[in-house]
Structure 1
């Protein structure tokens, strides 16, 4: 009788991602930016007013991602530009490199590996993280922080043009349908009969 080998599903003890690493595993660089914006706003270190954000006077926080965000907001800036810059920042890139080096994400697309998903599950089950780290701004109660962080996600490039083209195509189709309906008011326009058979 041969031996049966089973793949271990245990999570190694060295898999202990910090808050922003968990955010990266849960939603990539955009989730890290969301989590940092929400965390600093909730701690009173950022003031979000309308589409703008500004750091409140004080010392920058110690975490590299939070410090990068805080320092980028010393002047009044748009939330969209801050969010975009943070997603592409060296601090967030470093999280991606670190996770890939530990085998928690793939090297190029930075998607969670099997081990990364197991670490993410363990982090979720531990219950020690704010819900927005795992679920993004959509899990926040309705309010200004939720609306402004969700509004920081730009429409994917080209999507606006695609939607506009689709709308025009639908308008043309509906115009053609109405022209066809008015032309065939007198009866069915199904073409002439070619009677007779063999």
Structure 2
């Protein structure tokens, strides 16, 4: 068993790999290593890596341009440094194969909930909806106002990495723009 579980262990036990990525995003924004250039649009400000999960998220943001939060999540969720947390917690007997945390994992979560004061720990334990700071919420929770494609010539271009939600939202924006032009 891990002598001192870190915030990403807690996040994984509480909400799986999605919560791990969300906690890392908040940690990177809070420490200034990633900045929100607009709601839902992220850019690396300082590429120093302090933890493998944070390194995976920094790599998902990329060193050039900016990326939407959805794209960062999509890219980071498939990274071995994130999925390694699940494998390790299973080996250590804290995470079950199917259902969720084991009895030992639930004990660890109860202890973590008692000490969840800072925003990163609150997100790890209870999710992004627990963020009180409006700027931090906008950075990691709001969708971008337009598709974010590094180096794209227009805001309507998409890449495969932008995912279904961005493509659907962009289609809706294009239709609205088209209808406004006719009216």
TM-score tier by shorter-chain length is: 0.5 to 0.7
Structure 1 unaligned residues grouped into runs of 5+: 1-11, 161-198
1:177-192 maps to which residues of 2 (within 5 A)?
none
Higher relative contact order (CA 8 A, sep 6+): 2
**Alignment of 1:104 onto 2:94:** yes
Q: Which runs of 4+ in 1 moved over 3 A?
A: 126-129
Assess, with a 3 A threshold, how the Cα gap between structure 1 residues 144 and 41 changes in structure 2: closer, same or farther.
same
Assess, with a 3 A threshold, how the Cα gap between structure 1 residues 34 and 101 changes in structure 2: closer, same or farther.
same
Structure 2 unaligned residues grouped into runs of 5+: 144-163, 169-183
Assess, with a 3 A threshold, how the Cα gap between structure 1 residues 110 and 18 changes in structure 2: closer, same or farther.
farther
**Kept after mapping to 2: 8 A contact 1:100/1:110:** no
**Kept after mapping to 2: 8 A contact 1:15/1:119:** no
Map of 1:191 onto structure 2: none
Map of 1:30 onto structure 2: 18
Map of 1:79 onto structure 2: 69
Map of 1:121 onto structure 2: 110
Structure ranking higher in helix proportion: 2
- Specify which of 149, 154, 161 is matched with residue 140 of structure 2: 149
**Kept after mapping to 2: 8 A contact 1:40/1:46:** yes
**Alignment of 1:53 onto 2:42:** yes
Structure 1 residue 102, shift from structure 2 partner: 0.9
Map of 1:176 onto structure 2: none
Map of 2:27 onto structure 1: 39
Structure 1 residue 81, shift from structure 2 partner: 0.8
Larger Rg, first or second structure (1 or 2):
1
Map of 1:183 onto structure 2: none
Question: Secondary structure at 1:53's aligned position in 2?
Answer: strand
| d(CA) in 1 for partners of 2:100, 2:74 | 19
**Kept after mapping to 2: 8 A contact 1:104/1:114:** yes
With structure 2 as the length reference, what TM-score do the two structures score? 0.68
* Number of aligned residue pairs: 143
